[in-house]
Structure 1
Amino acid sequence: MKQHQAALDVNEVPALNKWLVLSLQHLFAMFGATILVPFLTGLSPSVALVSSGFGTLAYLLITRGKVPAYLGSSFAFIAPIIEVSKSSGVAGAMVGSFLAGLVYGLVALLISIFGTKWLMNLLPPIVVGPVIIVIGLGLASTAVEMAMYLPGQEENIYSGTHFMVALVTLAITIIASIYFKGFFSLLPILFGIVGGYAFAMTQGIVDTSGIQAEWTSITTAGSFTGAIAALFQAPDFIVPFVDFSPLEVISWEIAFLMVPFALVTITEHTGDQMVLSKVVGRNFLKNPGLDKSILGDGVATFIASCLGGPPNTTYGENIGVLAITRVYSVFVIGGAAVIAIVFGFIGMVTAVISSIPTAVMGGVSILLFGIIASSGLRMLIDNQIDFGEKRNLIIASVILVIGVGGAFLQVTEDVQIAGMALAAIIGVALNLILPGKEKGHGNGQMFEAPEVERQNKKDHVA
């Protein structure tokens, strides 16, 4: 068995002089991706930071402080949030997120009663892999439009300047991904955004008026307490029963658009738990249990829906930080969550994020959305799915064409099952109907919990 040497174990408290630095590492790792999701969906980045912080703290509480995982904005829900927002506004997207959170709770209950085998039969790799590919490719046009066209125009107007900024941003992100080593290799998104932002300023497409307004309000406050008051601002929360009535918004259309993606993210969550178990050297699928971690993920999504943020999910970037630093302390993760909440209330942070040109985000998104699609392909490869089997070929082909092609099913005048949601539903149905279900599982390792041991010897944190 592989022995795991921890610099800080799961329940160890770091020294105060190192705690802040260790927590900031996790904040930087998740920051770029977490603010990108609300940027694309029209939600508030500051609310996303606050909801990810509170969601992570809730997750740590529900898993009884046994799983060092950070939760950030989920990319899987970008497309359905955009679609729901078009017809039902942001309130509709929040109701959909709430429904997705309920699915997490239901799945957690079923796992606690029946185990994980039923979930594996419902969502084998042959279904989940192509659906993840559809999620990435379905967002491709959004990334390209952000990269190529002038923002805020009723019709698409090509801009060579914006496209150049997007390509430079993409190049910086790729260079950071390939050539940066150690902890810095985990921050390609952040490096891409910062580098692209700097280049965009040389091209004159960065609007810094919001930053200047924030700075003016702080410097002209007249006193130290006034400056502190001007520095902190409440984010634009969207609270149910205060800003909108969920009962007036909820509809079958919202449910059909949002709920199927919860099944995909639950499967991704399970994969993250397997990787995290291998990194830390403990079987988190057994202790505290997959039901507890999925419930924690669902509660985090529920919290986000009550604040106006995107659904949350466990982040691979932060698992990478754990692997490199060997600092597994949940107190470090909790510290990152607290800092994220504080950042969400700082007006200057919100102003800086809002000033990022869409071309910069478009350049980063070209790579990110492609990686999402590629991760679906990797799932098929890792599980050794045999496409020589007609059953597997049929399921994958139907999911890809329906999802990427944008097919939709008009249930009623107001209810429509579209694109990725329809592809996921049909994929699950085909898997249950067609004979030879075992062929869709490949090598069957998708839900196998790793058997790992720990070595109690500790190293000092460098």
Structure 2
Amino acid sequence: MKTHQAVLGIRDIPEKHKWLVLSLQHLFAMFGATILVPFLTGLSPAVALVSSGAGTLAYLMITRGKIPAYLGSSFAFIYPISVVSESSGVAGAMMGSFFAGLFYGLIALLISMFGLNWLMKLLPPVVVGPVIIVIGLGLASTAVEMAMYLPNQEENVYSLTHLIVALVTLGITIVASIFFRGFFSLVPILFGIVGGYIFALTQGVVDTSGIQAEWTTLASSGSFIGFFGNLFQMPEFVIPFVDFSPFEVFSWKIALYMLPFALVTITEHTGDQMVLSKVVGKNFLKEPGLNFSILGDGVATMIASMLGGPPNTTYGENIGVLAITRVYSVFVIAGAAVIAIFFGFIGMITALISSIPSAVMGGVSILLFGIIASSGLRMLIDNQVDLGEKRNLIISSVILVIGVGGAMIKVGDVEVAGMALAAIVGVVLNLILPGQDKSQGNGNMFKVSDISTEEKNNDGAA
């Protein structure tokens, strides 16, 4: 496995004058995507920042400071959180997220007991790939509606101005993705949001009343202490036993609806760990072990659910930052987490995020949700899954139609629908149809043996 010499090893502490800059790089890499998820699901962006930072710190502790990974808001849970929130409120969505985190813990326990191969057989690329495609396509209508229609209307009202803002935002994001180099190529979402926001200001579709109110409050501070007192603001946390009773909110319907999505994100998490292992030159699936990594992800998701934030997951954007900078220090990652928590308590930042027009987020989402769907297709290609094989064609076709078509099974008060049902049916078909070896494909993306067990020491600075 080819690796690069580290600039800073996993346990190296950066020099003080570089630490802040290096941590800010990771913050910027995750910022756009992390605030987009709560924006789309009706949760608080400030809480998402706090839960992202707290979840990352918990992850670093659980993995014993051996994996330099940042955790941010998970796109895979946008759809289930939105659906559950409509029927059971934010509290119901948080209960579902909490059980998803518990499910991560169960999977981590099973990996500790039986190894990893059973998970790869249960969720091969021919199942996970189409499910990820369904997740992206299922969100497509949300992105288009945000781009075309006026926000906060009882009925859809078409707006050419909002569509132009969305298309300009999309164009800026695409340009940043294609033509920017180095670190800047890793934050096209951030460039798209900032550029789209500036253009939206020129079109008069930005509500800046919240920003003006915050600025007035700060300007009226009578003293230095008063200024800092007004600068900080408590995020809109949704805390169990304080804001709601978990026993009154809980239902098996919510738990069953969320768990299939957790299966998909666990498989994505495994893929991220393989990529990260190659980047850093250490086998993280072996040491500290995928069981600890998945457990850390689950605990981070549970922490987010107890604060009112979206579920967390490891971020590919931040893995890209590691690959470019070759700074693998967990202290840099922890610094980014602390800054994210700090930002979540600054009222001006919350007001600025809240003022972003839905058209801007819609423009970014058109690309992001398409990338989610395309990444599912890429998984099939990278693993060389042969759709000429009847079993593979049948499994992928059934998953796509059930998921995109919105099929559902309802027994009493328990309902399993859409993407969740598609994932379950895909797993069942893969288990009962003959020729399971053909579902893995001929690639090596999801083969544990692809990661060399030879440990390479990157713990010292170059």
Q: Give the TM-score, by structure 2 length.
A: 0.98
For residues 124-203 of structure 1, what are the structure 2 equivalents within 5 Å? 124-203=124-203
What SS does the corresponding residue of 1:189 show, helix, strand or coil?
helix
The answer for the alignment partner of 1:377 in structure 2 is: 377
Q: Deviations over 1:276-305 (max 9, x none)?
A: 000000000000000000000000000000
Fraction of identical pairs, as percent: 78
Q: Partners of 1:3 and 1:48 in 2: how far apart?
A: 33
Q: Partners of 2:58 and 2:443 in 1: how far apart?
A: 32
For residues 330-409 of structure 1, what are the structure 2 equivalents within 5 Å? 330-409=330-409
Q: Answer yes or no: is the 8 Å Cα contact 1:5–1:457 preserved in 2.
A: no
Q: Deviations over 1:130-176 (max 9, x none)?
A: 00000000000000000000000011010000000000000000000
Shift of 1:455: 6.4
Q: Answer yes or no: is the 8 Å Cα contact 1:41–1:82 preserved in 2.
A: yes
User: Does residue 213 of structure 1 match 2:213?
Assistant: yes
The answer for the alignment partner of 1:79 in structure 2 is: 79
Cα distance change on mapping 1:379 and 1:239 into 2, 3 Å: same
Q: Partners of 1:211 and 1:64 in 2: how far apart?
A: 41
Shift of 1:4: 2.3
Extract structure 1 runs of 4+ deviating beyond 3 A. 452-460
The answer for the alignment partner of 1:50 in structure 2 is: 50
The answer for the alignment partner of 1:419 in structure 2 is: 418
Letter in 1 for 2:456: R
Q: Deviations over 1:67-113 (max 9, x none)?
A: 00000000000000000001100000000000000100000000000
For residues 116-127 of structure 1, what are the structure 2 equivalents within 5 Å? 116-127=116-127
Q: Partners of 1:334 and 1:152 in 2: how far apart?
A: 38
What SS does the corresponding residue of 1:307 show, helix, strand or coil?
coil
Q: Give the TM-score, by structure 1 length.
A: 0.98
Letter in 2 for 1:161: T
User: Does residue 454 of structure 1 match 2:453?
Assistant: no
Q: Answer yes or no: is the 8 Å Cα contact 1:3–1:455 preserved in 2.
A: no
Q: Partners of 1:239 and 1:443 in 2: how far apart?
A: 47
User: Does residue 410 of structure 1 match 2:410?
Assistant: yes
Shift of 1:8: 0.2
Letter in 1 for 2:436: K
The answer for the alignment partner of 1:106 in structure 2 is: 106
Q: Partners of 1:69 and 1:146 in 2: how far apart?
A: 32
For structure 2, the 5+ residue unaligned runs are none
For structure 1, the 5+ residue unaligned runs are none
What SS does the corresponding residue of 1:291 show, helix, strand or coil?
helix
Count of equivalent residues: 459
Letter in 1 for 2:180: F
Q: Which moved more, 1:90-99 or 1:435-444?
A: 435-444
RMSD: 1.1
Q: Partners of 1:340 and 1:276 in 2: how far apart?
A: 22
What SS does the corresponding residue of 1:241 show, helix, strand or coil?
coil
Q: Partners of 2:459 and 2:68 in 1: how far apart?
A: 19
Shift of 1:255: 1.4
Q: Answer yes or no: is the 8 Å Cα contact 1:4–1:455 preserved in 2.
A: no
Shift of 1:447: 3.3
Cα distance change on mapping 1:221 and 1:457 into 2, 3 Å: closer
Q: Answer yes or no: is the 8 Å Cα contact 1:5–1:326 preserved in 2.
A: yes
Q: Partners of 1:279 and 1:420 in 2: how far apart?
A: 32
The answer for the alignment partner of 2:280 in structure 1 is: 280
Q: Answer yes or no: is the 8 Å Cα contact 1:4–1:453 preserved in 2.
A: no
Cα distance change on mapping 1:457 and 1:254 into 2, 3 Å: closer
The answer for the alignment partner of 1:256 in structure 2 is: 256
The answer for the alignment partner of 1:435 in structure 2 is: 434
Q: Deviations over 1:230-276 (max 9, x none)?
A: 00011000000111011111112211221110000000000000000
Q: Deviations over 1:407-448 (max 9, x none)?
A: 111121x32111000100111111111111111011262032
